[in-house]
Structure 1
Amino acid sequence: MSSALRKDLRKDRANPGVRALPQVTVVQGDITHQPVDAIVNAANRAMRGGGGVDGAIHRAGGPAILRDCIARFPNGLRTGDAGWTTAGDLRAKWVIHAVGPDFRSGETDRALLDSCYRRSLQVADELGARTVAFPLIGAGVYGWPKQDAIDAALETIWGTDTLVEAVNLVAFDDATRAAMRFRQGRGTPRRILEAVGELHARGFEQVRIHPGMSASGLYWHVSIATADNFDESSRFPTFRNQSMVVDYTTGSGPDFLDATVDEATEVTAVADLIVAAWPWLSDPVSDPDYAAWYRRLIGLVAEYDSLPIAYAEYFDDSRGWEVGWGSGVLIEPPPRALRGDQWGKG
């Protein structure tokens, strides 16, 4: 995705009182090769190099990093803290050293792990770094449970006030990358559903959804189209013109319309993505009954933190849609689409 689009998907930093969240990209590779201003090292308290990521950064950056560590941190750093040194021969400008908790030695307080990310971003702000690459701190030889380490990384990066604009979260293998992307995409469906509500607020009340579960039961899927494109004679999503439908499945993680959509993405920006995919969506159309029904649906989605289901294998849709697969929380089916001659122009 282009840097311009990445910027568009984040809050406007020039708007007083509005905080932007870093755009997080999950990558797999060697952290020492990341094209960023600063890379974060998973250091130990002594700050004298070590194994894993720590050793790789010292080897790639050369002896200048260790000399700077000795000069700047003669007594090392405490667990959860971070500090910076030169990057030596690395392409980055700085190395930010964060001392992660040793889970296997009894340092099991999640706050220490969160602090590594928070302090690293604070140091990055002090340096003026706008792009930062993190390893998955604590999940290597220190033995922090991987899923909790991923939660700590993403939740803390998204929850920290920072001027950092872009973060690369670097995975060391395929399985870790997949787990990171799955966690990153947890909030993507909600953002997409909320974006349809945003389009209604803009007057495009003809935009509808049809959500459901895949035949395997593993992935949630949603189709977004205008009312006149839905074939309502089928309980499964059927359209008169498939090329005018936007589809998303949770199997895609945070990827939506060639962009990354996650908890850091503004709802208005997701709505803009849909509009950009539909250049023919020019005239607002009034359908207040559907818009009111949709607001109630989104309220239930928020209340139960679950996704709506309109179809699935062996799903009885006669009683309406279900919010949460197998939850029993129901909402009546949406009002039928208005015919073209019934639409009110906004």
Structure 2
Amino acid sequence: MTKLVAVQGDITAQTTDAIVNAANNAMRGGGGVDGAIHRAGGPEILRDCIARFPDGLATGDAGWTTAGRLSARWVVHTVGPNHGAGQRDRALLESSYRRSLEVADELGARSVAFPLISAGVYAWPRREAITAAVDTIAATPTAVEEVRLVAYDEAAHREIASVLRMSTGVRILQGVRDLHRRGYHTLRAWTGVAPSGLFWRAVLTDAAHPDDPAIHYTSGNEAQFAAGTVDAMSTPREAAELIRGALPRLEVTNDAPDYAAWFAGLLAAVEPEHALPVAFADYFDDSEGWEIGWGSGLRYPKPPR
């Protein structure tokens, strides 16, 4: 299983097998991370770029060169979409991460360090840039054993670490959606914030057996959930199977498509930025619906009865 970690530091100093360069289409060096990698690695990288990419590289694609004087063995170059120039298709950003891991696998790399692709001069909103990175890395089959998300400044590092922590809640909710898609329509989720305001909570129940013990999760328990572990690298199916194990009388009923559709819509609002939903909290009025991200003011309609 791939390990995903947040690292604060200089990506050119990473000692992984490969580091990823946020390049441009021309593949002849540039500013930001691109310029830093070329400066630290020396002219060998540019010579290899000219030889391997005479026509440049398409947005969302990736390829490799020597790492020159860097500690890494290879540089995997990828071109992320330029949000500031109107390239706002998240699929292109996801492709940059996916293709980079595919190239790393072709090279036999077992450790890879990524910058936040497109989050610098290409102006992709940082929160969404981070969640795109985390979710795509988690969903991409790879033999890479360790992936680092490297942030140069402390604020970006804190935000990456926060998204990694919150990913447990997202994967739990994705597990609920997975079960709904398989027809387990009596599964219900109720989410909120602890009185302290520090922890997100989720309560999962089987509506067909309301007296059965519910599943309780708090982010204070980090990755521990339903007698198992769920983290950023877990799949929705893995979370779903933990839910099934903790609610043993849960059955396929296919009898609440309205609720399943409502929940799928809720997840569609949550996933882009991992903004966890809130249905209950101290001093919170849910009459206008659930809040997407505590304190955001963004509301989603209450579930159907």
Q: TM bucket by the smaller chain?
A: 0.5 to 0.7
TM-score after normalising by structure 2: 0.64
Q: What is the letter of the counterpart of residue 180 of structure 1? A: I
| Corresponding position of 1:109 | 89
Deviation at 1:191, TM superposition (A): 6.0
Paired residue for 1:79, among 51, 59, 66?
A: 59
CA contact 1:301–1:308 (8 Å) conserved in 2? no
How has the CA–CA distance of structure 1 residues 302 and 25 changed in structure 2, closer, same or farther, with 3 Å as cutoff? farther
Q: CA–CA distance in 2 between the matches of 1:247 and 1:138?
A: 34
State the TM-score, normalizing by the size of structure 1.
0.57
Q: Determine helix, strand or coil for the equivalent of 2:160.
A: helix
Deviation, 1:35, is 2.4
Query: Partner letter of residue 264 of structure 1?
Result: S
Alignment pair present for 1:70 and 2:70: no
Residue 133 of structure 1 aligns to a residue in which SS?
Answer: strand
Alignment map for 1:1-346 (pairs within 5 Å): 22-189=2-169, 213-221=193-201, 248-249=218-219, 261-264=231-234, 292=249, 304=263, 313=282
Identify the residue that residue 205 of structure 1 maps to in structure 2: none
Q: Residue type matched to 2:231 in 1?
A: V
Q: What runs of 5+ residues in structure 2 fail to find an aligned partner? A: 176-190, 204-215, 268-275, 285-289, 292-298
Deviation at 1:94, TM superposition (A): 0.3
- Change in 2 beyond 3 A, CA 1:101/1:178: same
Per-residue deviation at 1:89? 1.2
**1:189 CA drift (Å):** 3.6
1:156 CA drift (Å): 1.6
Deviations 1:93-141 (A, max 9, x none): 1000101222222222222222211111111111011211111111101
Partners in 2 of 1:66 and 1:314 — Cα distance? 58
Shift of 1:292: 4.7
Q: Kindly tell me: are residues 291 and 309 of structure 1, through their superposed partners in 2, closer, same or farther at Cα, counting changes over 3 Å?
A: farther
The C-alpha deviation readout for 1:254-283, integer Å capped at 9, x for no partner, is: 6669x98224269879x99xxxxxxxxxxx
Which one-letter code corresponds to 1:120 in the other structure? S
Q: Match of 2:55, SS?
A: coil
Q: What CA distance in whole angstroms lies between the structure 2 residues aligned with 1:111 and 1:256?
A: 31
Distance (Å, rounded) in 1 between the aligned partners of 2:124 and 2:277 = 34
RMSD (Å), alpha carbons? 4.2
Deviations for 1:265-310, whole angstroms, at most 9, x for unmatched residues?
69879x99xxxxxxxxxxxxxx9xx8659x9xxx999984699999
Return the index of the structure with the highest Cα Rg. Answer: 1
**How far apart, in 2, do the equivalents of 1:135 and 1:255 lie?**
25
Identity of aligned residues (%): 54
Deviations 1:204-259 (A, max 9, x none): xxxxxxx9733343522589xxxxxxxxxxxxxxxxxxxxxx99536x8x6669x9
Are residues 248 and 219 of structure 1, via their aligned partners in 2, closer, same or farther at CA, if it must alter by over 3 Å?
A: closer
Distance in 1 between residues matched to 2:90 and 2:60, nearest whole Å: 10
In the comparison of the two structures, how many residue pairs are matched? 248
Tell me how far apart the structure 1 counterparts of residues 120 and 277 of structure 2 sit (CA, whole Å): 38
Report deviation, 1:25: 0.8
**Contact 2:174–2:236 (CA under 8 A) maintained in structure 1:** no
Amino acid at match of 1:262: A
Is the contact between residue 40 and residue 96 of structure 1 (CA under 8 Å) also seen in structure 2? yes
